[in-house]
Amino acid sequence: MFTSIAIIGRPNVGKSTLFNKLTKSRKAIVSNYSGLTKDRNYGYITFGDQKTLIIDTGGIAQDESILKEDIAEQAWIAAEESSLIIFLLDGSENLNKEDLDILTRLRKLNKNFITVLNKIDKNSDSLLKVDLNKKGINEFFEISAEHSRNITELRTFIKDSLPKEKYESPEGKKIAVLGRPNAGKSTFINKFIKEDRLIVSEIAGTTIDAISIPFTVDDQDFIFIDTAGIRKGYRNSHKIEYFSYVRAMHSVEECDVVIFICDAQEGIVDQDLKIINMICEMGKPVLIAFNKIDLLTKKQKEEIYETKRAQSNFVNDFIKLEISGIKGLGFKKLFRVANGLIDKAQQKHTTSSLNQMMNKFIEQSAPPSVNGRLLKLKHVHFAGINPTTLVIHSNQDKKIPSNYKKYLENSFRSALELKSIQLRLIFRKSENPYESKVNKLTERQVKKRQRLIKHIKKNKK
């Protein structure tokens, strides 16, 4: 079972602004123009180590246009599939017919929902609270998403309102298998575990849910998670395809490594790059496997790596292997590399070893000046996995040149052998150890100083 939150309401009540505040991002476009959000937008709201999917929907409006009907349908699909619904209202306006229709349908869904009144910072004579009380809603949360009022309290309330039951997954290292439809994911898993556990068909998109398959290799427990193929245009597609994508992303969140299966006959296409990029944003290691390699000639195999996409800096950061799901070619190497990536991605690094590396990088390329001050990198420490996170303390943190940041990232990636593993560098400004020891002037000394400054300015005139 996975949990997700949907934000619904009529147009221009502030759904996208609230979405950005809760996800601490700027993914959703915010504008005074009504009905700007058309497709569902997704992100994650974080509560400590727990992440929950949150979906921003288009405004539900009473309109005869086909576009408005489609937008409303997409919003209700998100609401039906979510564990919790945020019903957002404009707190500066009275309850209108569109709000009432949404409330009526919400109650018919028999879903857990919370009512949130936005834009409370606006001066108005709204009777919204009275209207809601008449409709049986006595509990609601008042916020101003634009000015971040009561957002922290709302986050806490959302956390307490989420379902408490959790899906107990089997023990073992988890390997998610992702790719576009008909890339051969199910065929690969069936051949690997030597069982026909998954339906295999020439029709693209046979798998529509994420399926966990436990197996054992050398007395070690593993779990394959077969996911639905992610199609182009999944955001505004129908219910099954969109939430197959949602479940695939949840599988990535739960897994230890992703094997991205690509159809070797088609090579790497733009949709592949988009999916891989989304996996990278979630911090998980990625291994690219070119499937159906047995169907290609030697020249065709070489052409796979000669395309612009395959030779891009982004793709070069990943390990690429060749397999055949039907014939079982390349399976041993693929599994050995995938298992090694799990161990490598979960490895912790000592502060002393990281600082030795950083000092070596500084010797090879000295830090530049920032606003006339020499950049001083003082020390670095390990801060977490998935992605491998390093915190660098320096005398500057805001205006460090991007090219030097990239130099440090590439240097650490190479030294720590993080090919196919995500790396994140965080720069923090070191605190002044003498700041607390600075003598503070008494009130009498402050007044004396002000008189002296005034006297000097008067003499200059």
**pLDDT above 70: residue 311:** yes
Domain with CATH 3.40.50.300 in the chain: 4-161, 173-345
- May I ask the CATH class of domain 351-435? alpha beta
225 CB-near residues (< 8 Å, 6+ apart): 174, 175, 176, 177, 210, 211, 212, 213, 251, 254, 255
Q: What pLDDT score does 383 carry?
A: 92
Measured in degrees and rounded to the nearest 5, phi and psi for residue 308 equal: -60, -40
Assign 170 a pLDDT band (cuts: 50, 70, 90).
Answer: low
Mean pLDDT score, 91-112 = 89
Q: How many CB atoms lie within 10 A of CB 240?
A: 13
Q: What pLDDT score does 163 carry?
A: 75
Which residue has 């400590």 as its token pair? Answer: 48
Q: Is the pTM of this model over 0.85?
A: no
How far, in Å, CA of 425 to CA of 144, rounded? 33
Q: What pLDDT score does 285 carry?
A: 95
How far, in Å, CA of 269 to CA of 179, rounded? 11
Give alpha helix (H) positions in 172-285: 185-193, 239-254, 270-281
**pLDDT above 80: residue 28:** no
Q: What pLDDT score does 324 carry?
A: 92
Token pair recorded at residue 321: 């292997």
How far, in Å, CA of 103 to CA of 97, rounded? 10
Q: Which of 67-76, 105-114, 121-130, 376-385 has the lowest mean pLDDT?
A: 67-76
Report the share of the chain in percent with pLDDT over 70: 82
Q: What pLDDT score does 171 carry?
A: 75
Token pair recorded at residue 98: 């569109």
Q: What pLDDT score does 201 carry?
A: 36
**pLDDT above 70: residue 136:** yes
**pLDDT above 70: residue 205:** no
Closest by CA to 57, choosing from 80, 72, 75, is: 75
Mean pLDDT score, 167-196 = 77
**pLDDT above 80: residue 194:** no
Q: What pLDDT score does 27 carry?
A: 57
Q: What pLDDT score does 154 carry?
A: 92
Q: Which of 13-17, 46-50, 146-150, 240-244 has the lowest mean pLDDT?
A: 240-244
Q: What angle do CA 154, 157, 160 make, to 5 degrees?
A: 155
Q: What is the CATH number of domain 173-345?
A: 3.40.50.300
Assign 306 a pLDDT band (cuts: 50, 70, 90).
Answer: confident
289 CB-near residues (< 8 Å, 6+ apart): 188, 259, 260, 261, 262, 320, 321, 322, 323, 330, 334
For 412-457, the pLDDT digits (tens) are: 999 999 999 999 999 998 765 555 566 777 888 888 888 888 888 8
Mean pLDDT score, 269-284 = 86
Q: What pLDDT score does 375 carry?
A: 87
Q: What pLDDT score does 434 carry?
A: 56
Assign 35 a pLDDT band (cuts: 50, 70, 90).
Answer: very low
- Count Cβ atoms within 10 A of the Cβ of residue 346 and give its class: 0-12 exposed, 13-18 middle, 19 or more buried: middle
Mean pLDDT score, 270-299 = 90
Domain with CATH 3.30.300.20 in the chain: 351-435
**pLDDT above 90: residue 47:** no
**pLDDT above 80: residue 119:** yes
Structure-model confidence comparison of residues 204 and 329, the more confident one: 329
Average pLDDT along the chain = 81
Q: What pLDDT score does 2 carry?
A: 55
Which of the listed CATH numbers 3.40.190.10, 3.40.718.10, 3.30.70.1560, 3.40.50.300 matches domain 4-161?
3.40.50.300
